[in-house]
């Protein structure tokens, strides 16, 4: 799967967390790459089906990724969400891809 999106955004919480070690930054990049390959992480079956339909309809995409044990959590965070916003124009370009912690939604 390939999709066009306008930009990559990380929230302040994710940015602070990822700058603490290179492994954390790599994890964020891995999750974003997974999204672009159509691997939605740990979403439920219903959300996976919605994402698959959104590839055709242009609706928003969402992935859920749990931190590996090698990356200790911060302030109770053990999950990362990646959201790619819906199609914004007639050429199929989407809004931003955003990495955030669920508490930041």
pLDDT in tens, the chain (105 residues): 656 788 899 999 999 989 988 999 999 999 999 999 999 999 999 999 999 999 999 999 999 999 888 876 656 678 999 999 998 888 888 999 999 999 998
- Mapping DSSP to helix (H, G, I), strand (E, B) and coil, where does residue 77 land? coil
- Mapping DSSP to helix (H, G, I), strand (E, B) and coil, where does residue 7 land? coil
Predicted local confidence at residue 1, as pLDDT: 60
Query: Nearest 5°: CA angle at 65, between 95 and 102?
Result: 70
Residue 62 near residue 91 (C-beta atoms within 8 A):
no
User: Tokens for 99?
Assistant: 């990495």
Report the DSSP pairing between strands 97-100 and 79-84: antiparallel
**DSSP conformation letters of 84-102:** EPPB-STT--B--EEEE-G
Predicted local confidence at residue 78, as pLDDT: 86
Predicted local confidence at residue 71, as pLDDT: 78
Predicted local confidence at residue 77, as pLDDT: 73
Predicted local confidence at residue 89, as pLDDT: 87
């Amino acid at each position: 799967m390939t999709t066009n999106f306008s930009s990559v955004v990380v929230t302040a919480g994710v940015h602070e967390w990822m700058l603490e070690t290179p492994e954390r930054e790599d994890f964020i990049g891995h999750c974003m790459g997974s999204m672009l390959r159509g691997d939605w992480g740990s979403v439920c079956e219903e959300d996976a089906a919605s994402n698959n339909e959104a590839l055709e309809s242009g609706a928003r995409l969402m992935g859920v990724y749990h931190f590996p044990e090698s990356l200790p959590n911060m302030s109770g965070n053990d999950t990362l969400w990646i959201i790619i916003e819906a199609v914004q124009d007639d050429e199929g370009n989407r809004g931003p891809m955003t990495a955030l912690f669920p508490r930041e939604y």
